[in-house]
């Protein structure tokens, strides 16, 4: 069964497996002890730190192993913010950061700090000038991911690092998604990563604090890991994580370029999906992106249902959609980009992904989408908006149309989850005259994101959102 969710967690690398088993025999002792077994464990820990530092591009004494990537992010942010408290308590981050950054930002704000969120463009990329504009005299820290975990867009880290350095503000880079593909460029101050993203075992994170960066570890500490990550760490897992990262680097330097091979497969998916499946939006930067990841959203499709269809067809993929069962709120990344969230599919290819598996995925995807759409009453082979729907014309309740335009209709989609509100909108838009409005009543949080996105895709005018007794009223004017 092809596994296409490496952005969540990559399969355990064969080298990691071998190193883990060997380290369980040789590295079980406490590396802080002076007897033989402890010295052997210490040698393994030092070698792992040196290997990881070489792959990341830092000094070994700048790198700390943590229990997870999330722990590294939280420790890194807290340590810098505490050390720079006299400079100020202003935190800046992009609108598409990983939830670990957002949760730490919420805690910072709850403790009296201030937070500025830098917007992104439709590709999910921040503008360096926007980051510069968010800086103030009291800015203590800037957080910027190296590449986005949902859509793959790479951020201008080197440019932002230069801006931060000139302003005297440290930059923390969440490099969880990009470290497997090479060192992060730029003069950043703090970097975090997570081993299970590159084929290491879970439970190992990296926290790099470059020399000269003011840092004050928070909470109780001990003599281990420079006081930045207390406790007896999982040394066998650390050894396995470093071994797999070193193996990836060695393979990239000596053999065929796996990143370029995967980039070619992703290019095929990006090009073919819109040709094979109607009403699809491929999101993320088409050029400045991770080599192994592609995300697209399908109109009139429930994301959870589509993932189940693909799972039955033998493919493990992920979704950042608001329609997944884990959360009933839209993906903050897709929302910040202003793109469609319904029917969202993220394909992230692991190292060694087979070309024939990608070809088979492209073969089964159209039928999976058609099957889900059929369940929602979307006719096959024709535009949804031509299908018609049983809606009452309630011109007096609709938003006032332009002068001389025909009155509009109201679609009641209250109590119905996405993609139903958008489907019902699409069904009736063709039944009203050009210039008239359709008002969709919905209490689904995704409608606030998906109705404007649908309008952009269909060249219709999104008039805006109005208050309603339940949920909100979303007004659309027919333009074509």
Q: Tokens at residue 294, please?
A: 């592609």
C-alpha pair distances (Å), 322 with each of 122, 127, 156, 308, 432: 18, 26, 27, 15, 29
Count how many Cα atoms sit within 13 Å of the Cα of residue 296 in the half-sphere of its side chain: 25
Task: Evaluate whether 336 touches 448 at the Cβ level (below 8 Å).
Answer: no
Q: What's the token pair of residue 344?
A: 């969202």
CB 460 within 8 A of CB 453: no
The pair of structure tokens assigned to 93 is 């981050």
- Bridge partners of residue 352, in order along the sequence: none
φ/ψ region of 127 (left if φ > 0, alpha if ψ in -120 to 50, else beta) reads beta
Other CB atoms within 10 A of residue 201 CB:
22
For the question of residue 323 being annotated catalytic, the response is yes
- Strands 280-283 and 293-298, bridge-based pairing: antiparallel
CB 182 within 8 A of CB 206: no
CA dihedral angle for residue 251, residue 255, residue 256, residue 257, rounded to 10 degrees: 40
Give the active site residue among 58, 164, 298, 323: 323
Catalytic residues, by residue number, are: 323
């Amino acid at each position: 069964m092809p596994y296409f969710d490496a952005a969540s967690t990559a399969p355990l690398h064969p080298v990691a497996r071998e190193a883990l088993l060997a380290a369980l025999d040789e590295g079980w002792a406490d590396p802080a002890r002076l007897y033989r077994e402890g010295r052997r464990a210490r040698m393994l820990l030092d070698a792992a730190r040196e290997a990881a530092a070489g792959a990341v591009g830092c000094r070994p004494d700048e790198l700390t192993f943590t229990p997870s990537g999330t722990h590294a992010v939280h420790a890194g942010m807290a340590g810098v913010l505490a050390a720079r408290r006299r400079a100020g308590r202003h935190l800046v981050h992009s609108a598409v950061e990983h939830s670990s950054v957002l949760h730490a930002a919420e805690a910072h704000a709850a403790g009296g700090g201030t937070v500025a969120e830098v917007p992104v463009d439709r590709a999910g990329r921040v503008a360096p000038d926007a980051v510069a504009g968010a800086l103030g005299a009291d800015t203590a820290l800037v957080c910027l991911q190296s590449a986005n975990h949902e859509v793959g867009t790479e951020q201008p880290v080197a440019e932002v690092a230069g801006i931060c350095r000139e302003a005297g503000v440290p930059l923390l880079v969440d490099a969880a998604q990009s470290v497997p593909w090479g060192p992060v460029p730029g003069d950043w101050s703090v970097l975090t990563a997570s081993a299970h993203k590159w084929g290491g075992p879970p439970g190992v994170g990296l926290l790099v604090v470059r020399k000269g960066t003011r840092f004050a570890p928070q909470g109780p500490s001990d003599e281990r890991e420079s006081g930045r990550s207390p406790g007896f760490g999982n040394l066998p897992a650390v050894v396995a994580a470093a071994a797999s990262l070193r193996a990836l680097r060695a393979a990239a330097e000596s053999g065929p370029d796996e990143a370029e091979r995967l980039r070619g497969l992703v290019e095929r998916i990006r090009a073919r999906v819109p040709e094979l499946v109607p009403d699809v939006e491929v999101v993320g930067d088409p050029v400045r992106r991770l080599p192994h990841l592609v995300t697209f959203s399908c109109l009139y499709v429930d994301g959870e249902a589509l993932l189940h269809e693909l799972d039955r067809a033998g493919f493990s993929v992920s979704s950042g959609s608001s329609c997944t069962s884990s959360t009933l709120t839209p993906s903050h990344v897709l929302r910040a980009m202003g793109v469609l969230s319904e029917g969202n599919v993220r394909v992230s290819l692991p190292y060694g992904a087979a070309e024939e598996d990608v070809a088979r995925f492209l073969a089964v995807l159209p039928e999976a989408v058609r099957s889900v759409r059929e369940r929602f009453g979307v006719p096959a082979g024709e535009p949804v908006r031509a299908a018609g729907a049983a809606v009452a014309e309630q011109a007096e309740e609709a938003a006032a149309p332009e002068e001389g335009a025909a009155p509009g209709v109201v679609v009641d989609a209250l109590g119905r989850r996405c993609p139903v509100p958008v489907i019902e909108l699409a069904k009736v838009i063709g039944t009203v005259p050009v210039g008239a409005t359709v008002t969709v009543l919905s209490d689904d949080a995704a409608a606030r994101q998906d109705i404007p996105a649908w309008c952009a895709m269909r060249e219709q005018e999104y008039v805006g959102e109005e208050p309603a007794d339940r949920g909100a009223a979303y007004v659309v004017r027919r333009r074509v």
